[in-house]
């Protein structure tokens, strides 16, 4: 059952493996409204554990005001996730640590060699050489 797997995952993610009902509800709300990835992942895991009953199997202990994942629950979850990684790519959940193959784009050809830029001289407002017109010499 994917709902119980979600609870196991939430508890396993807590520092002490423990959470109250409000914490679990908050996490469930975030996971199930953040897009289809979480739901699909939990359904895939649930397919590998069709007879799961986390409470009666001792994977989660119930205490007054809180639930705690047991060592048996942590072991079960680790084995389940390991089995899911060994499943076919079509049925296994994506593993964020696993490298993803990305199709290589065609290399971009460098631009054709261009002739070097011409350096233009600035005239500073005074005509140069033979083309001077009516230019007077200053007397000192």
Q: Pick from 68, 45, 72: which is nearest to 59 by CA?
A: 72
**Residue 17, pLDDT above cutoff 90:** yes
pLDDT tens sequence across 104-131 = 443 433 444 445 555 555 555 555 555 5
Domain ranges of the chain: 2-86
pTM across the whole model: 0.58
| pLDDT band at residue 102 using 50, 70 and 90 as cut-offs | very low
What CA–CA distance (Å, rounded) separates 95 from 78? 13
Q: Please name the fold of domain 2-86.
A: Arc Repressor Mutant, subunit A (1.10.10)
pLDDT tens sequence across 35-82 = 888 888 888 888 888 889 999 999 999 989 899 999 999 999 999 988
Model pLDDT, residue 96: 46
């Amino acid at each position: 059952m994917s709902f119980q797997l979600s609870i196991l995952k939430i508890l396993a993610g807590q520092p002490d493996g423990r959470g109250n009902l409000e914490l679990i509800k908050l996490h469930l709300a975030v996971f199930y409204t953040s897009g289809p990835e979480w739901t699909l992942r939990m359904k895939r895991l649930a397919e590998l554990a069709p007879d799961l009953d986390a409470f009666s199997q001792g994977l989660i202990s119930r205490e007054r005001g809180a639930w705690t994942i047991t060592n048996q629950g942590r072991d079960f979850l680790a084995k389940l996730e390991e089995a899911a990684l060994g499943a076919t790519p079509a049925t296994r959940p994506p593993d964020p640590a696993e490298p993803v193959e990305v199709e290589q784009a065609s290399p971009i050809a460098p631009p054709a060699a261009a002739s070097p830029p011409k350096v233009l001289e600035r005239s500073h407002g005074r005509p140069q050489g033979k083309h001077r017109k009516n230019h007077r010499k200053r007397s000192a």
